[in-house]
Amino acid sequence: MTMSNTGGRRRPPTIHDVAREAGVSRGTVSRVLNGGHYVSPAAAQAVEAAIRKTGYVVNRHARSLITGRSDSVGFLLTEPQERFFEDPNFNVLLRGCTQALAAHDIPLLLMLAGTDDERRRITRYITAGHVDGVLLVSSHSGDPVAEELRAAGVPLVACGKPIGLGSKVSYVAADDRDGARDMVRHLLALGRRRIGVVTGPLDTPGGVERLAGYREVLAEAGVEADERLVVSGDYTRAGGEAGAERLLARAPGMDAVFVASDLMAQGVLTALHRAGRRVPEDIAVGGFDDSPAAVAASPELTTIRQPWDRISSEMVRVLLAQIGGEDPAAVILPTELVKRAST
């Protein structure tokens, strides 16, 4: 910090202090702060060392007036607020995106928009230029946010492939269908033949793809499809519990169940225990995500691991590239079967 001339108070270091410490011009410091173009490696190193020594912090407001950018990114969750606190996947993804952006010195703004009014307000805020781009999480079909942001030219990356938008929007996703296939193959290999499924919401890409993988493997194995074994869920613990109760009523001979999220699988385990069904002796249970809910379950869940660290880092990478002018891109990442006590 530098001493001011008034009352001995310390003032924050300025770009002029950095230039003087580094022995370069103010323009050279500005170029380093804005990407390092047309700056020699030696000068860039001198400026970076001067920034550390002086403790200089970029004035983001002043820089935004010059660049036209906010130097911030929005993390937009289009779900009710209670879902953010209940579902551990959202927190894991938020933490990963925050860390990936921190490496670029870019703050992340959390935005929750679970109602139509909230979505309209948030969309107005974003399109007014308050963030440079958006990481969109949990987009349902029929949700206008992704299309409105795309039409407004806002750089956007979705977690999961937005239904109905095809290649118009960048997205990063785990291979939901292949993960479901691996889980159902595992259950079949254990000798289970009456395999139920509690799906995710069927207006979301994960819900659709995981159900498709389940059906494909049963067809390949020659197991006759039985729609009594298929019930829909909503990725909540209560939804899993209700789904298991419906399955037990409709298909009491069920010997396994594939649940499209670990959080729902916790609810399934509760319902099975209440009904006197032993896991895995009577009914094997497989989840999806490998979230903290999987190891908190009793018994611990066999599940499909989503590579959350890679998903978050790839979302940030693709978004920053798009902010920099690149075209939309799609990234699909592999999943992994994790075997635990529930099967």
CATH number at residue 233: 3.40.50.2300
pLDDT on residue 142: 66
Burial of 197 (0-12, 13-18, 19+ CB in 10 A): buried
Same domain, 132 and 244: no
Instruction: Give the pLDDT band of residue 69 (cuts 50, 70, 90).
Output: low
Same domain, 206 and 138: no
Same domain, 78 and 51: no
Q: Does residue 46 sit within a domain?
A: yes
pLDDT on residue 6: 45
Instruction: Give the pLDDT band of residue 66 (cuts 50, 70, 90).
Output: very low
Same domain, 255 and 322: no
Same domain, 214 and 301: yes
> For 261-302, what is each residue's pLDDT tens digit?
999 999 999 999 999 999 999 999 999 999 999 999 999 999
pLDDT on residue 238: 96
**109, 74 contact by CB (below 8 A):** yes
Instruction: Give the pLDDT band of residue 4 (cuts 50, 70, 90).
Output: very low
Domain of residue 24, CATH code? 1.10.260.40
Same domain, 48 and 91: no
**Lowest mean pLDDT segment, chosen from 105-109, 167-171, 215-219:** 167-171
The residue among 169, 187, 220 whose CA lies nearest residue 288 is 187
Cβ-based neighbours of 342, under 8 Å, separated by 6 or more: 265, 269, 279, 280, 284, 285, 286, 287, 297, 299, 300, 301, 302
Per-residue pLDDT averaged across 112-135, rounded?
91
Model pTM score: 0.78
**307, 335 contact by CB (below 8 A):** yes
Same domain, 192 and 289: yes
Per-residue pLDDT averaged across 9-28, rounded?
83
Q: Does residue 324 sit within a domain?
A: yes
Cβ-based neighbours of 7, under 8 Å, separated by 6 or more: none
Q: Does residue 78 sit within a domain?
A: yes
Same domain, 253 and 108: no
Same domain, 163 and 81: yes
Same domain, 271 and 202: yes
Q: Does residue 5 sit within a domain?
A: no
3-state secondary structure of 282: coil
pLDDT on residue 167: 66
In total, how many domains does the chain have?
Answer: 3
**Alpha-carbon distance 248 to 196, whole Å?**
9
Q: Does residue 109 sit within a domain?
A: yes
Look up the domain containing 198 and give its range: 176-305
Q: Does residue 328 sit within a domain?
A: yes
Tokens coding 176: 């939901």
Supply the mean pLDDT for the chain: 89
3-state secondary structure of 231: strand
Q: Does residue 342 sit within a domain?
A: no
**Alpha-carbon distance 202 to 209, whole Å?**
9
Q: With a cut of 70, say whether residue 61 has pLDDT above it.
A: no
> For 203-240, what is each residue's pLDDT tens digit?
888 999 999 999 999 999 998 889 999 999 999 999 99
Q: Does residue 8 sit within a domain?
A: no
Same domain, 50 and 112: no
Same domain, 149 and 112: yes
